[in-house]
């Protein structure tokens, strides 16, 4: 339990309303988007860098660990409390501090929601490309901590490709700025990229300079339907080989086609083995040529149907099934496990085959949605969390999927972070020498292991 | 586990993805996890499992929900958190009654017409004089513009004849006025009658206008809500068409009442039959009347529309009010940003969580101001009062009007 004097001091730093010690607070801050659970000792909601610094200093003196949290939508346990910690919730630090259109930069606080930035930038005809599925809920601090991706990331890159610089509060209480406001201003070590994806284990981010860019003048949305997932994945490889980089290359398998049909009647054929949603964007003059090339490629890969949306309504119709994909499986069974294994694009067909194998071996139901362009797969394993035996089988199947990804020279986590869930798999992916370097980095920043201890790696 | 057992399966379907954070206005303003649907659902489940207590903090989390239903649209797993919150409120009512006393007083007064008339009558007379005598700082009480809030000494239903005849009646409709319109927004009630009578409808305004039961229903007092529903059906059941111009009452009469009686199979058919005869004002006018040829207007006016939660999410009446507004000559209709999102009024949330509520209203007011509209039209008396206050707090001159007021003005 936090001492009364510690609670009083936290309140004097952050204000009465920004320190939560109620029973419901402890409960509601116990989870994230996974099934993991922990109990914090308290929650602080700082509203400025100075408050973050003061809390960090107080906690260091008192030996209290701190787990950072944005909206808590993460899928790997990164923001789940550890024993004896307080939660530092950044959701009240949500100012957009600066928008510099000329230099393609915006500076935001970590609690700003990704979607709020998109809405604000839309007024200028600009946007911020990383678009995780959680973008209407998840914060920029969280996106940064997990290095989030999204459908648009095939063409444009993931979060780390859009961060110019950061203000960071270190475990020592010192505030540093890393990176700059544009590409060329980071001589020395690339510190910015060390913080991206570090899940708050090295420092707490209090300001983020993000790269923004103009909304492309034109966009085309296409749908290709296949008899087999193999044909669909062949198209993916062929399109990229043809030198076309679509903004989006999303794939759904037969199970997902059927669950989405049950839910929204999008009009996709239930006997199809897979479908691909493709989008290209750029200069209006380039669109027809790209659509034509893609049309020829998918036909060569035995697509049974190829549609090009000609109106906003048709675009919506094509996206309808994809948008409800996750929820539609939740209607089949009460729970689903989201995985984000990623393999080299060229090995995408092998990964699809690997998933089929896991399905049979473990007797589990899996529906797959994939950011196919990135080789990033979301095999959704369906189950009921109250059936303990089933949960065990699901965990075993998930482990097998991860092993398969590593064997294909891929990674166990494309965009959802490591947190607690994927931590044990890191040694397989990187080997002891690299893990040792990671540990040294952690110790260099956080010798007392005060910031999000036990996440990513064990010291 | 009590009544929570009824929804235990549904509580389990929340996968805790947190997508509701983007949809929840109370979370956007407060930022705490228990102020969002995921947190509320997890807490209800925790109470059912005996892991948290129904303490004061829990009550605040449950009672501060706007019940706007926006999270249900964002939820990939199809959880309807607002419906689960309703059950949690019923559970709270059964555990400890309606608290605090002020809330209990408001809810019970609505079921007692005498007390309601006295209250509004007192406010219209002496109460306002008293407020007028105080400093202007008192104009806004808890973010509500109490000084200019209309209040009638005599309820609307007692100002007009019980049957308002027209020369060649083509239809006969009963007007369910609703408590708020009956006692406060009396002018709007007159507008409703005008639109109907100018379009050859004979309008019956029964003297007895029992509360629809929605306020009791949403705070978990199902017994009172059912009693009110039966009173409404007793008084209005004999008519073929019942019209109300209050979005919340409309939702209660058309939909929620049916929910309420699912455990009384003997009475349920009567409720279903009644519900099928009830219409929201613009729903009826747009569907049944040929109004557009009769509308006249010389002065150009810019109008926008706010969708009350009970119109857009509890029912799907969104096109009809817009269509009617657009049919007024020289009316330049502009759409506002987030027109269909909650204004923050949310029944008694505005009274008991007024800072939260007013912060939400401020966003709505800003979205209205950004359109440059002269008039913001809507279909719900509660939204009207709250939005009016929000606009005035921002110093805006934009007027709030009911769709019926806009149409009635064009029928002179």
CATH 3.40.50.720, domain A334-441, yes or no: no
Nearest-by-CA chain A residue for B16: A33
Helices then strands, each counted (H, E), chain A: 16, 18
DSSP state of B126: I
User: Do A94-214 and A4-91 fall under one CATH topology?
Assistant: no
Cα nearest neighbour of B19 on chain A: A137
pLDDT of residue A450 exceeding 60, the answer is: yes
**Dihedral sign computed on CA atoms, order A202, A204, A206, A212:** positive
The domain locations on chain B are 2-97, 292-409
pLDDT at B134: 54
Yes or no, beta carbons of A327 and B52 under 8 Å apart: no
The 10s digit of each residue's pLDDT in A370-392 is 999 888 999 999 998 888 999 99
Classify residue A400 as exposed, middle or buried by CB count within 10 Å of its CB (0-12, 13-18, 19+): middle
**Cβ proximity of A421 and A76 under 8 Å:** yes
Max Cα–Cα distance, chain B, nearest Å: 67
Strands B144-145 and B140-141: antiparallel
Q: Which CATH class is domain A94-214?
A: alpha beta
**DSSP code string of B294-321:** G----S-EEEEE---HHHHTSS---HHH
pLDDT score at B243: 98
Of A24, A81, A120, A382, which to mutate for an interface test with B (greatest number of B Cβ within 10 Å)? A24
Q: Which of residues 56-75 of A touch B (CB under 8 A)?
A: 71-73
Q: Are strands A204-211 and A163-169 parallel, antiparallel or unpaired?
A: antiparallel
Which chain B residue's Cα is nearest to A34?
Answer: B16
Average pLDDT, chain A: 93
Q: Based on C-alpha coordinates, what's the Rg of chain A?
A: 23
Least confident of A26-40, A212-226, A349-363, B119-133: B119-133
Q: Which strands sit side by side in the sheet containing A86-89, from one edge to the other?
A: A19-20, A42-44, A86-89, A66-69
> Which of A28, A35, A134 lies nearest to residue B39, judging by beta carbons?
A28
End-to-end CA gap in chain A: 25
What is the C-alpha to C-alpha distance for residues A303 and A251, in angstroms, rounded to an integer?
A: 13
**Residue A183: per-residue pLDDT:** 63
Q: What Cα–Cα distance (Å) separates residue A325 from each residue in A100, A134, A274?
A: 36, 13, 13
Hey, which residues does B243 pair with through a beta bridge?
A: B175, B279
With tokens 């949603």, the residue in question is A277
Closest alpha carbon to B287 in B225, B193, B199: B199
Cβ pair B53:A73 closer than 8 A: no
Nearest Cα neighbor of B81 from B66, B91, B59, B93 is B66
- Residue A449: pLDDT above 80? yes
The pLDDT > 90 percentage for chain A reads 76
Beta carbons of B296 and B267 less than 8 angstroms apart = no
pLDDT of residue A455: 97
Is the Cβ pair A386, B46 closer than 8 Å?
no
- Write phi, then psi, for A189 (nearest 5 degrees): -65, 150
Q: In chain B, count of helices (H) and strands (E)?
A: 23, 11
Domain ranges of chain A: 4-91, 94-214, 216-332, 334-441
**Model pLDDT, residue A154:** 86
- pLDDT tens, residue by residue, A136-177: 999 999 999 999 988 888 889 999 999 999 999 999 999 999
Taking Cα atoms as reference points, which of B364, B261, B393, B265 lies closest to residue B305? B364
User: Taking CA A114 as the corner, what is the angle to CA A108 and CA A115, rounded to the nearest 5 degrees?
Assistant: 120
Of A71, A330, A386, the CB nearest to B77: A330
Contacts of A149 (CB under 8 A, 6+ apart): A130, A132, A158, A159, A371, A374, A376, A414, A415
- Chain B residue numbers touching A111 (CB-CB < 8 A): 31
Measure CB to CB from residue A330 to each of B57, B74, B76 and give the nearest one. B76
Q: Do the beta carbons of residue A297 and residue A216 sit within 8 Å?
A: no
In chain B, the residue whose alpha carbon lies closest to the alpha carbon of A136 is B22
CA distances from B299 to B278, B327, B404 (A): 34, 14, 18
What pLDDT, on the 0 to 100 scale, is given for residue A328? Answer: 81
**Interchain CB distance below 8 Å, B43 and A113:** no
- CB of A152 within 8 A of CB of A373? no
**Dihedral angle, C-alpha A377, A378, A383, A387, nearest 10 °:** 80
Res B138: pLDDT: 57
- Indicate the residue of B22, B31, B77 with minimum beta-carbon distance to A137: B22
What 8-state DSSP symbol labels residue B137? G
Assess contact for A199 and A78: CB atoms under 8 A: yes
Helix runs in A124-214, H state only: 140-146, 153-156, 191-195
Phi, psi of B104, deg, nearest 5: -60, -40
Name every residue in B having a CB less than 8 A away from some CB of A. Answer: 9, 12-13, 15-23, 31-34, 39, 42-43, 46, 51-53, 55, 57-58, 61, 74-78
Interface test with A, best of B9, B31, B40, B81 (most A CBs within 10 A): B31
Count CB neighbours of A241 within 10 A.
11
CA B53 to chain centre: 31
The C-alpha of B389 sits at a distance from chain A's nearest C-alpha, in angstroms, of 26
In this predicted structure, the answer to whether residue A111 has a pLDDT above a threshold of 70 is yes
CATH class of A216-332: alpha beta
pLDDT exceeds cutoff 70 at A418: yes
CA dihedral sign, ordered A23, A26, A29, A31: negative
DSSP codes, A99-132: EETTTTEEEE-TT-BHHHHHHHHHTTTEE-----
Q: Which residues of B are less than 8 Å from A133 in CB distance?
A: 19
A:16-35 residues touching chain B, CB 8 A cutoff: 20, 22-25, 27-29, 31-35
Q: What is the pLDDT of residues A244-263, one digit of tens each?
A: 899 989 999 999 999 999 88
Q: Which fold has domain B2-97?
A: Fumarate Reductase Iron-sulfur Protein; Chain B, domain 2 (1.10.1060)
Considering only CB atoms, which chain B residues are within 8 Å of A27? 42-43, 46, 51-52
- Burial per residue of B288-314, b for 16 or more beta-carbon CB atoms within 10 angstroms, e otherwise: bbebeeebeeeeebebbbbbbbbbbbb
Q: Which residues in chain A are closer than 8 Å to B55, comparing Cβ atoms?
A: 22-24
B39 neighbourhood in chain A, CB within 8 Å: 28
> Which tokens go with A443?
């110790």
User: What is the pLDDT at residue B147?
Assistant: 65
> E strand or H helix at B61, and its extent?
helix B56-63
CA distances from B232 to B104, B257, B269 (A): 21, 11, 15
Q: Do A330 and B74 touch (CB under 8 A)?
A: no
A327–B77 CB contact, under 8 Å: yes
Q: Which residue in the set B15, B23, B33 is minimally distant from A72, CB to CB?
A: B33
For residue B18, the chain A residues in CB contact (below 8 A) are: 32-33, 71-73, 134, 137-138
Residue A144 and residue A114 in contact, taking contact as beta carbons nearer than 8 Å: no
Helix, coil or strand: residue A382: strand
For residue B358, how many C-alpha atoms fall within 13 Å in the half-sphere facing its CB? 17
More confident residue, A90 or B146: A90
Q: What is the mean pLDDT of residues A1-7?
A: 91
Are the Cβ atoms of A92 and B52 closer than 8 angstroms? no
Q: At what angle do helices A229-241 and A284-300 cross, to 10 degrees?
A: 140
Angstrom distances, CA of residue B218 to CA of B91, B213, B350, B379, B406: 12, 9, 14, 20, 30
Q: Are B164 and B193 in contact (CB under 8 A)?
A: yes
Nearest to B42 among A28, A135, A137 (CB): A28
Q: How far apart are CA A188 and CA A180, in angstroms?
A: 12
Report the gap between the CA of B21 and the closest CA in chain A (Å): 5
Number of residues that make up chain B: 412
Helix (H) or strand (E) holding B392: helix B381-393
What gap in Å lies between CA A369 and CA A254, rounded to an integer? 10
Q: Quickly list H helices, A202-306.
A: 229-241, 254-264, 284-300
Determine if the peptide bond prior to B100 is cis (ω within 30°). Answer: yes
Task: Inform me whether the C-beta atom of residue A99 falls under 8 Å from chain B C-beta atoms.
Answer: no
Q: Do A28 and B32 touch (CB under 8 A)?
A: yes
Which residues in chain B are contacts of A136 at CB distance < 8 A?
19, 21-23, 74
| CATH class for the region spanning A4-91 | alpha beta
pLDDT tens digits in sequence order for chain B, 412 residues long: 789 999 998 998 888 889 999 999 999 999 999 999 999 999 999 999 999 999 999 999 999 999 999 999 988 888 999 999 999 999 999 998 877 777 777 777 778 877 777 777 776 766 666 555 555 555 677 777 766 778 888 899 999 999 999 999 999 999 999 999 999 999 999 999 999 999 999 999 999 999 999 999 999 999 999 999 999 999 999 999 999 999 999 999 999 999 999 999 999 999 999 999 999 999 999 999 999 899 999 999 999 999 999 999 999 999 999 999 999 999 999 999 999 999 999 988 998 999 999 999 999 999 999 999 999 999 999 999 999 999 999 999 999 999 999 999 999 8
**Distance between A191 CA and the closest CA of chain B, angstroms:** 30
**A272 near A304, Cβ under 8 Å?**
yes
Residue A116 distance to chain B (closest CA, Å): 9
**What per-residue confidence (pLDDT) applies to B132?**
58
Count CB-CB contacts under 10 A for residue A443. Answer: 12
DSSP conformational letter for B162: S
| List of chain B residues whose C-beta atoms are within 8 Å of the C-beta of residue A78 | none
Residues in A touching B74 (Cβ below 8 Å): 136
Q: Are A318 and A309 in contact (CB under 8 A)?
A: yes
Class of domain B292-409: alpha beta
Contact call for residues B40 and B34 (beta carbons, < 8 A): yes
Closest C-alpha to A136, from A117, A122, A154: A117
**CA of B10 to nearest chain A CA: how many angstroms apart?**
9
């Amino acid at each position: 339990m936090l001492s009364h004097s510690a609670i009083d001091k936290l309140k004097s730093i952050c204000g009465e309303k920004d320190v939560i010690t109620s029973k419901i607070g402890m409960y509601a801050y116990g989870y994230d988007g996974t099934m993991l659970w922990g109990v914090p000792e308290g929650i602080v909601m700082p509203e400025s860098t100075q408050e973050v610094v003061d809390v960090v200093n107080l906690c260091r003196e008192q030996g209290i660990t701190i787990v950072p949290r944005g909206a808590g939508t993460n899928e790997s346990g990164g923001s789940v409390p550890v024993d004896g910690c307080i939660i530092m919730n950044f959701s009240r630090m949500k100012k957009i501090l600066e928008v510099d259109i000329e230099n393609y930069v915006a500076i935001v606080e970590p609690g700003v929601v990704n979607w709020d930035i998109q809405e604000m930038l839309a007024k200028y005809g600009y946007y911020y490309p990383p678009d995780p599925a959680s973008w209407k809920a998840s914060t920029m601090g969280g996106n940064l901590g997990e290095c989030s991706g999204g459908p648009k990331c095939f063409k444009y890159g993931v979060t780390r490709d859009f961060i110019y610089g950061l203000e960071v509060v270190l475990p020592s209480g010192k505030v540093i700025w890393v990176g700059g406001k544009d590409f060329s201003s980071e001589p020395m070590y690339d510190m910015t990229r060390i913080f991206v994806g570090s899940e708050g284990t090295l420092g707490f981010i209090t300001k983020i300079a993000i790269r923004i860019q103009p909304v492309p003048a034109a966009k085309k949305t296409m749908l290709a339907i296949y008899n087999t997932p193999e044909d669909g994945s062949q198209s993916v490889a062929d399109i990229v080989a043809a030198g076309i980089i679509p903004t989006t290359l999303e794939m759904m398998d037969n199970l997902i086609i059927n669950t989405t049909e049950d839910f929204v009647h999008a009009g996709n054929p239930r006997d199809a083995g897979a479908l691909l949603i493709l989008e290209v964007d750029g200069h209006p003059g380039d669109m027809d040529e790209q659509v034509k090339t893609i049309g020829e490629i998918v036909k060569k890969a035995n697509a049974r149907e190829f549609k090009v949306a000609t109106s906003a309504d048709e675009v919506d119709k094509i996206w309808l099934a994809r948008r409800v994909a996750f929820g539609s499986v939740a209607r089949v069974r009460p729970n689903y496990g989201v995985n984000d294994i990623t393999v080299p694009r060229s090995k995408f067909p092998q990964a699809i085959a690997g998933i089929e194998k896991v399905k049979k071996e473990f007797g589990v139901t899996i529906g797959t949605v994939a950011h196919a362009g990135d080789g990033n797969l979301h095999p959704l394993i369906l189950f009921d969390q109250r059936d303990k035996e089933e949960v065990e089988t699901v965990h075993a199947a998930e482990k097998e999927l991860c092993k398969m990804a590593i064997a294909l020279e891929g990674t166990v986590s494309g965009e959802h972070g490591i947190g607690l869930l994927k931590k044990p798999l890191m040694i397989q992916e990187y080997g002891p020498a690299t893990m040792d370097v990671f540990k040294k980095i952690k110790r260099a920043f956080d010798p007392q292991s005060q910031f999000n201890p036990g996440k990513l790696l064990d010291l | 586990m009590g009544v929570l057992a009824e929804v235990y399966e549904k509580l389990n379907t929340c996968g805790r993805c947190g997508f509701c954070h983007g949809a929840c206005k109370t979370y956007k303003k407060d930022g705490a996890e228990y102020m969002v649907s995921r947190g509320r659902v997890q807490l209800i489940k925790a109470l059912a499992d005996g892991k948290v207590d129904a303490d004061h903090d829990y009550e605040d989390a449950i009672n501060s929900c706007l019940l706007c239903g926006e999270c249900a649209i964002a939820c990939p797993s199809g959880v309807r958190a607002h419906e689960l919150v309703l059950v949690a409120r019923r559970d709270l009512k059964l555990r400890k009654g309606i608290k605090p006393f002020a809330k209990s007083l408001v809810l019970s007064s609505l079921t007692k017409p005498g007390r309601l008339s006295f209250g509004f009558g007192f406010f219209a007379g002496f109460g306002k004089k008293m407020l007028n005598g105080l400093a202007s700082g008192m104009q806004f009480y808890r973010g509500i513009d109490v000084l200019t809030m209309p209040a009638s000494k005599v309820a609307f239903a007692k100002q007009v004849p019980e049957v308002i005849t027209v020369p060649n009646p083509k239809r006969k409709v009963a007007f369910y006025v609703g408590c708020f319109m009956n006692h406060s927004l009396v002018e709007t009630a007159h507008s409703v009658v005008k639109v109907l009578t100018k379009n050859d409808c004979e309008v019956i305004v029964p003297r007895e206008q029992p509360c629809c039961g929605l306020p009791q229903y949403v705070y978990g007092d199902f017994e009172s809500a059912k009693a009110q529903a039966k009173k409404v059906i007793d008084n209005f059941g004999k008519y073929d068409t019942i019209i109300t111009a209050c979005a919340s009452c409309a939702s209660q009469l058309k939909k929620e009442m049916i929910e309420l009686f699912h455990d009384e199979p003997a009475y349920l058919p009567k409720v279903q039959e009644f519900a099928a005869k009830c219409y929201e004002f613009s729903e009826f006018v747009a569907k049944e009347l040929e109004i557009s040829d009769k509308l006249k207007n010389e002065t150009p006016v810019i109008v926008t529309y706010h969708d009350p939660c009970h119109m857009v999410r509890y029912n799907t009446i969104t096109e009809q009010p817009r269509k009617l507004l657009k049919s007024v000559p020289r009316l330049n209709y502009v759409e506002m940003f987030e027109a269909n999102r909650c204004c923050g009024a949310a029944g008694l949330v505005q009274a008991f969580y007024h800072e939260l509520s007013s912060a939400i209203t401020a966003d709505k007011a800003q979205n209205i101001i950004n359109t440059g509209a002269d008039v913001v039209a809507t279909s719900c008396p509660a939204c009207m009062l709250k939005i009016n206050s929000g606009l005035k707090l921002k110093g805006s001159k934009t007027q709030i009007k009911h769709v019926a007021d806009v149409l009635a003005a064009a029928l002179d």
